[in-house]
Amino acid sequence: MSEAALNPFQSITDHIRHRRSVKPADMDPGRPVGRGLLEALMENANQAPTHGMTEPWRFHVIQGAARADLATCMQAVYREIMPALEFREDKYRKITESTQLAPVIIAIVMARRGGAKIPELEEIEAVACAVQNLHLSASAAGLAGYWSTPALVYERQFADWLQLGPDDRCLGLFYLGWPKPGFVWPEGRRSPVQGKITWHGEATVE
């Protein structure tokens, strides 16, 4: 048995440091992700921390032919919100291409249920924690994942397509799929954490 299997801390550390954003272009569009695995991933996402137990995360799973409907909606919203002088034909086409490269696309939604008691920011933070759970779980299962936040998903037109409530918000699209054969998992690039820590009080040396 490996050291990671014997040491839960080492295991979770390995999974966290292995997780990377892998774009749809590096996913295998012909290899589906099973329903059981998808439900297990989202159940892990469902275990995220939540103030007041509002559980604001919602997942709209888009697969198969529904991806074309998503692309049509995204193109329509992009054309509507983009000033004529800033409209880019290449970006317009890329919207359609991205939706066909990943076998699964999950619209990440914050369902506002906390009322005035819980700030909206805290609900958004809770959804972000759920997405991290989802991404870590996907990576541990060998899947590629990519959280994309094009500006158009924040528009009311896109929320209406998802049939969201007036206070609900889409927080992006999570692309999910198996890596293409021969894909080389990217190395992590982060600056040292020591430069991001401010210590207050006396540190305990172990």
What does the pLDDT look like over 51-66, one tens digit per residue?
Answer: 999 999 999 999 999 9
Total-model pTM: 0.93
What does the pLDDT look like over 111-139, one tens digit per residue?
Answer: 998 677 899 999 999 999 999 999 999 99
- The answer to whether 27 and 101 have CB atoms below 8 angstroms apart is yes
- The answer to whether 103 and 32 have CB atoms below 8 angstroms apart is yes
Query: For the chain, which domains are there?
Result: 22-180 (3.40.109.10)
Find the largest Cα–Cα distance for the chain: 61
What pLDDT sits at residue 48? Answer: 98
Distance CA 166, CA 31 (A): 36
Q: Is a pLDDT exceeding 70 seen at residue 5?
A: no
What pLDDT sits at residue 3? Answer: 62
